[in-house]
């Protein structure tokens, strides 16, 4: 497994060893022993999956403590531009984002620890994003930072995004008070 830190060192790109032959391919998307060697020791308790059309933006979502979630994100079909925004007030990277293209073809994954808002834009129709979480979803603990916040200035690079009402109504980063 190859591990590459992003511009925010706690957010890492994980490239599993993929074994291909005339039948297709095989890889381990998760192996507890390997992840513990990478110092990713969270126990995963929930798997989530979403299907999105091209240009759908989901996010920027997070769960407040005590329901904060670390995530292991990967694309099963299609491609996304995945974004993790550091919302840890004492972090030197507070308010900065890591942006990584994840594709089913590359089988790459993104590790996002607790204390980050997460979002993505689907780059292809029928994109399936799958992720493991270290804590259960709790509706009363969810938060959303506006996906197109001017302070964050995330370059989504699409002209006609498809966004949910909830995500359109997210809080601005300048008005956001972090629980982390």
Tell me if 47 sits within 8 A of 132, measured CB to CB.
Answer: yes
Residue 165 makes CB contacts below 8 A (sequence gap 6+) with none
Residues marked active site are found at 61, 131
Helices (DSSP H) in the chain: which residue ranges? 32-37, 165-168
Compute the Cα dihedral for 142, 35, 49, 165 and give only its sign.
positive
Euclidean distance between CA atoms 61 and 97, whole angstroms: 13
Euclidean distance between CA atoms 112 and 71, whole angstroms: 5
Q: What angle do CA 156, 17, 128 make, to 5 degrees?
A: 40
């Amino acid at each position: 497994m190859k591990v590459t830190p992003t511009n925010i060192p706690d957010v890492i790109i994980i490239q599993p060893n993929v074994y291909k032959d005339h039948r297709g391919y095989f890889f381990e998307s998760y192996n507890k022993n390997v992840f513990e060697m990478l110092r990713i020791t969270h126990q995963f308790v929930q798997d989530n999956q979403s299907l999105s059309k091209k240009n759908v933006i989901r996010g920027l979502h997070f769960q407040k403590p005590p329901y904060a979630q670390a995530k292991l994100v990967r694309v099963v079909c299609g491609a996304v531009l995945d974004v993790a925004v550091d919302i840890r007030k004492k972090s030197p990277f507070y308010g900065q984002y890591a942006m990584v293209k994840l594709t089913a073809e590359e089988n790459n994954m993104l590790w996002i620890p607790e204390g980050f808002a997460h979002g993505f834009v689907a780059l292809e129709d029928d994109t399936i994003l799958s992720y493991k979480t270290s804590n259960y979803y709790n509706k009363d603990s969810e938060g959303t930072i506006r996906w197109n916040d001017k302070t964050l200035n995330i370059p989504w690079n699409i002209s006609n995004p498809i966004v949910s009402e909830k995500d359109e109504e997210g809080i601005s980063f300048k008005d956001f008070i972090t629980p982390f």
